Structure 1
């Protein structure tokens, strides 16, 4: 395999050019490779399970645009829908029938939601859901958890994981203390902290927002007892339980992560749900929704204002609708979950053979792995991971044509396009990469 330094000419040239006009050379921080070192790959095209960089190097893609590409890149039905929609018009600033169809398709699979509002990004959806929760309850405080990332709205950039964890900052510059003072940050999966927070502030809490499977500290599940207690305390104190399923929605199961908890907890449902990624199929589209009584607090029906020029964009809704129709076919998730489990079991086998401490977990088409002997349950445990060893593993895989997230704290994604041959090639690359950790 050609060394990294011998085949980054075009990528390096583009990166140097980008840094002159774009802060850090990238439009989203984790793309900069600052956590892992080296030169970012500038992607020129994608197809199925593969992406190609500016040098023409092909990679097996386990990022999938950070989750949306559940069908793989360029699925024929999705491509056809997008092309037809684009011919009809890029944007109208007026309602379309397709917005209704997409809303109906989402609600069909997520029974906790009676109504849904389409927006353009996960950050916008999470920010709007919190505003709605505050407006509906007349309260100000919100509960979030260390390592959970809900977008870059000011009040949420407090121990937020993801890119912030990568750079080692607990919060962001430019966020006034007064903006974050109503954000209560608790340890994920810590029942005693959760109960103490509601005991002290229950009557002031508008909502509790949580990633049911945190994908921004890699892959960490909320335990069933913890999630059940979140639901009970929110109900008891009149706060809204907000599920951030930007990453897990339609990715871990057709009904999202909440459908998995509903199997274990009687009558379980969140009050509001935030969705993104898969529902847009790779286009800029997200949503938030919940019960009628709450959603009808939104303008133009109620006093909580939210608006967006490109909300429900006709090309994005075409992409999302075509994606949801494909993944709702019988057997889709069984096959996807089986392939994802095969991936992490194979990686575990290669790590064991090399004598490398390794733990992994998956649900549906989402997975995560740690260079730790046991799966962590919270942000503090995740931070015990050895970043330098991960960087060595990352580059070992990248140089052998396998592209995983360029950061220790990000989950990975398998698509329906990943074949058995792709997995076999991944295991071969991992075998060599794990050996680098034992030298």
Structure 2
């Protein structure tokens, strides 16, 4: 497969952009080789600058749930662009988009739009701290919630230890306010909350983990988080940047029947444009400026083009049979992969949720970061 043009562009980019990319995962450091540069995409396929046609299973890391360049989304974005790309003032599109989110997501009565998933989680943490008057945060090993300082933390030497920054430039005292538990282990959460009584503002979790690969919650895990956070006066934050509008119109919370205090969204709700959102009950969101003392703002928040694309995307997802078809496609792919591996004598499991799947080369169930890390990475080739 010819990749000369991609190789030249990557060489040029490394002289102009850190590592040649504007987001580290695009450098292909964990899989080897040089990244391909994309020229265009349509439906399930992408074409690189060398003219190679490829099937896209990444889908821009989530936003392109309808496929690339979906006509309804493209038409909506073009129509919005003709009226102007940014105003720094409210638009009707923001109201219409907010109405769709509130109608779809069980926990959200009021929503604030931002420009990325990182902004959404960062704002949600600030909101939790403002609401509770506490400052510690509990997250999970392997959980990624954007590059906000408090969330770039990995586990210390024991569950009761304070967080240790996993990125340079994070103030150690700031990182120390983040506690790290194990996904699917309610006991680890209980120990940390009891050891930090009255200090934890929020527990933030992907209800379906995505960063460590797809890992679904074990029965009782999300229920346990809801009970423990209520008992200890901490807020429960669901980071549904990946699972929101992907596994169901109402997100993972609508599937598992667990209502968090704050929900974070992103990716799909922008139809491929930069967007994020966080929402909660009217009472909690009354803390957000201009109503309350928790300040958060953004020049491009609620951008009209992103709102138009998001409205078109949600309207398409709201049509009958969309999620049933997506789940059927996911199951078919997962089952076919397992059949191929079995015929070849390769040990593998495929974790799946509607529209999401990950292959792990292991014979053991993958339920947390430890078991995900035990997969045979060499088998990926």
Bin the TM-score by the shorter chain: over 0.9
2:290 maps to 300
Match status 1:214 vs 2:204: no
2:316 maps to 326
1:227 maps to 222
Aligned with 1:276 (options 263, 266, 269): 266
Match status 1:18 vs 2:13: yes
Greater relative contact order structure (CA < 8 Å, 6+ sep) = 1
197-206 or 235-244, which moves further after superposition? 197-206
SS in 2 for 1:184: strand
Work out the CA distance in 2 between the residues paired with 1:374 and 1:90: 50
Match status 1:127 vs 2:122: yes
Structure 2 residues not aligned, in runs of 5+:
156-163
1:102-151 CA distance string (max 9 Å, x none): 00001111121110000000000000000000000000111100000000
2:145 maps to 150
Work out the CA distance in 1 between the residues paired with 2:247 and 2:113: 21
Q: CA deviation at 1:218?
A: 0.7
1:200-250 CA distance string (max 9 Å, x none): 113111100000111100111122311111000111111100000000000
8 Å CA contact 1:360, 1:375 repeated in 2: no
1:164 maps to none
Q: Name the TM-score, length of structure 2 as normaliser.
A: 0.96
Match status 1:140 vs 2:135: yes
8 Å CA contact 2:239, 2:263 repeated in 1: yes
Work out the CA distance in 1 between the residues paired with 2:252 and 2:365: 19
2:38 maps to 43
Matches within 5 A, 1:421-432: none
1:384 maps to 374
Work out the CA distance in 2 between the residues paired with 1:374 and 1:289: 37
Work out the CA distance in 2 between the residues paired with 1:224 and 1:106: 27
What is the alpha-carbon root mean square deviation over aligned residues? 1.2
SS in 2 for 1:340: helix
8 Å CA contact 1:357, 1:371 repeated in 2: yes
Work out the CA distance in 1 between the residues paired with 2:201 and 2:165: 23
1:364-398 CA distance string (max 9 Å, x none): 111111111133111111111222222x1xxxxxx
Tell me which protein shows more helix as a share of its residues.
1
Work out the CA distance in 2 between the residues paired with 1:150 and 1:252: 18
2:159 maps to none
Aligned with 2:330 (options 340, 343, 361): 340
8 Å CA contact 1:224, 1:261 repeated in 2: no
8 Å CA contact 1:8, 1:39 repeated in 2: no
Aligned with 1:317 (options 298, 303, 307): 307
Work out the CA distance in 2 between the residues paired with 1:159 and 1:274: 21
Structure 1 residues not aligned, in runs of 5+:
161-168, 263-267, 393-439
8 Å CA contact 2:106, 2:253 repeated in 1: no
2:343 maps to 353
Q: CA deviation at 1:170?
A: 6.8
2:167 maps to 172
1:115 maps to 110
Aligned with 1:65 (options 56, 60, 64): 60
